[in-house]
Amino acid sequence: MSHDAVPAWGNPPAAASRPFRWKRLVLLLVALVTVAAMAIGALLYWLWTDAKVSTVGKAPFDNALAIPPLAEPTVEKDGTRVFDLRMQAGETEFRDGVRTPTWGFNGSYLGPTLRAKRGEKVRVRVSNTLDEPSTVHWHGMHLPARMDGGPHQMVAPGATWTPHWTVDQPAATLWYHPHPHGRTEDHVRRGLAGLFLLDDDASGRLPLPKRYGVDDLPVVVQDVRFDGSRLAGDRGLMQNVGFLGDRTMVNGTLRPYRKVQDELIRLRLLNASTARTYAFGFADSRDFALIGTDGGLLQRPARMNRIQLSPGERAEIVVRMKPGERVMLRSFPQRNYGDEWQRRFNGGDDTFDVLELRAAERLRPSPELPGTLVSAPELPDGEQAVEARHFDLKRSGINGRAMDMGRIDETVTRGTTEVWTIRNTNGMPHNFHVHDVQFRVMEVNGKTPPPELRGRKDTVFVPHGVTMKLALRFTGPADPDVPYMYHCHLLYHEDEGMMGQFVVVEKGRPAGGPPPGHEGHGGHGDPGSPGSHSSHANQDDHGSHGGHQSHSTHPAHGDHDKEPAPAGQAHGHEAG
């Protein structure tokens, strides 16, 4: 620094004191800068170290794991399984003596496990007793767009929405959750989520662990943070992925354990967190067998010791237990999550103990896992694609556009296969979920995908620097007026606008348009009346049992639903 600059200062009162004052000022400034730098350094150090979360060894896992009850449907004469789901507010005692305001289906938190078999007709009476509109989306389900429960099928407070469809896909672990545009994160975080398990004849014959709640355990994983008695929902300073909790729950149970009595235990893992990605494994890093992904069983079990699941993804794993042992299901740090900053401040460095399995002293023997689970997973063939589309993931929107309820972004032709290229150069992790379909991952950065991405998928993790090629087949039914969604399933991003809409149309037909102004409209006007829903039906033209008498009132395009693929032929065809 040059001393010549000294006289430039203002109006010095007395010439004699000038040099002294200048020195003192410099010293003061140096001291201030040093203190500020140290304070900032200390703050950054504190933020950096504080940002890394671990619950390993913090507290004993001494709460018995809750198992969501299996919903008991009423079965109508034609075999239709009718479920009731009531969205309701309540209070849940996650911690002894502390009542936390929550939402749930048919209870105060989460919902029952729905279950149906391929070929069965399903109807769900979804009633909303909350004080705000919501929706229920059937994540992973192949069904008509107006049954999908996306943001266009709002259920007003006090209203009932009654979607129905024919289950027309392989055995899988699906789930359901709200999807109101702009409010999804809030509704899911408060507790609205549940499993929807699908069965089929082929999987029923396999010697897999399949006794629900015994050797076949639902594992719905969510991260939470408590603000006093309430569930917190705020984002930290540098959290650009959305809300991140400081502890995890399984099926709404904090620090859970489960006693098991069989050698082989199947875990149906669902990441129902709003923003957090997990890398599941066991504390001793033992191998497990991955047997299924989002949309069904893999062709053969794949042995591994980690499975990464971003929000919305599922995995079915089978782990071998030794008599009398305790083993912890854990989520480990993730190197592929992003740069050091992202990993530290957005959850990639975190470690969570998730669920302790306590084996009995004597275990029932389990049959060995079959070498082949399905002869050929039902996956689209990218070679047959007639259309290529590109999706650039940015927090500000997909392909540079934020979600607009009134805009159809893509129009696809029923019965065709397409290749979608998903790219993330956004510096933060995203994922990608497509409604209605289960797709094939063809390539990850130009390479053959790893085993966990070779099965049926509806949601994939796409961290920064990853480009994925997907093959998708759209079998309909066509509906030019009602769109399906594709979006980032980090729900904060989705709510901000990382979502787009596609319609499935008959060949050569244009897209219609969703009706304008959906906010709060009453869910397709069939509150409570069990017959009126049929006017929307076209899916139940599938399959062989009788069907609804009101079909004749429906406009003709229901007839086009008959698919060329064997998947359309309901039950019976697998019997051979």
Q: Considering CB under 5 A, how many residues would be counted as binding Cu ion?
A: 4
Which of 276, 394, 493, 571 binds Cu ion (CB under 5 A)? It is 493
| Pair 151, 181: CB distance under 8 Å | yes
The nearest distance, CB 236 to Cu ion, in angstroms, is 17
Segment interacting with Cu ion (CB under 5 A) among 66-74, 129-137, 347-355, 493-501: 493-501
For Cu ion, the binding residues in 418-447 under the rule CB under 5 A are: 430
The nearest distance, CB 105 to Cu ion, in angstroms, is 26
Q: Is 399 helix (H, G, I), strand (E, B) or coil?
A: coil
Show Cβ contacts of residue 445 under 8 Å, excluding neighbours closer than 6 positions: 465, 466, 467, 468
The nearest distance, CB 474 to Cu ion, in angstroms, is 24
In angstroms, rounded to a whole number, what is the distance separating the alpha carbons of residues 27 and 351?
A: 46
The nearest distance, CB 427 to Cu ion, in angstroms, is 11
* Residue tagged 């009476």 (tokens): 125
In angstroms, rounded to a whole number, what is the distance separating the alpha carbons of residues 534 and 548?
A: 7
In this complex, which beta carbon is closest to Cu ion, that of residue 430 or of residue 456? 430
Show Cβ contacts of residue 37 under 8 Å, excluding neighbours closer than 6 positions: none
In this complex, which beta carbon is closest to Cu ion, that of residue 370 or of residue 427? 427
Name the residue type at position 478: A
Segment interacting with Cu ion (CB under 5 A) among 71-79, 365-373, 480-488, 558-566: 480-488
Phi and psi, residue 253, nearest 5°? -105, 125
The nearest distance, CB 485 to Cu ion, in angstroms, is 14
The nearest distance, CB 338 to Cu ion, in angstroms, is 12
Q: State yes or no: residue 355 binds Cu ion (CB under 5 A).
A: no
In this complex, which beta carbon is closest to Cu ion, that of residue 215 or of residue 495? 495
CA 459 to each of CA 114, 158, 209, 290, 535: distance values in angstroms, whole numbers, following the listed order: 20, 32, 25, 17, 31
In this complex, which beta carbon is closest to Cu ion, that of residue 318 or of residue 490? 490
In angstroms, rounded to a whole number, what is the distance separating the alpha carbons of residues 484 and 505?
A: 12
| Pair 200, 117: CB distance under 8 Å | yes
Query: What are the structure tokens assigned to 563, written together?
Result: 């698919």
* Residue tagged 């719905």 (tokens): 220
Phi and psi, residue 332, nearest 5°? -105, 160
Q: State yes or no: residue 504 binds Cu ion (CB under 5 A).
A: no
Q: State yes or no: residue 488 binds Cu ion (CB under 5 A).
A: yes
Q: State yes or no: residue 490 binds Cu ion (CB under 5 A).
A: yes
β-pairing, 479-487 vs 466-474, is: unpaired
The nearest distance, CB 149 to Cu ion, in angstroms, is 21
Q: State yes or no: residue 190 binds Cu ion (CB under 5 A).
A: no
The nearest distance, CB 184 to Cu ion, in angstroms, is 13
- Chain residues in the site for Cu ion (CB under 5 A): 430, 488, 490, 493
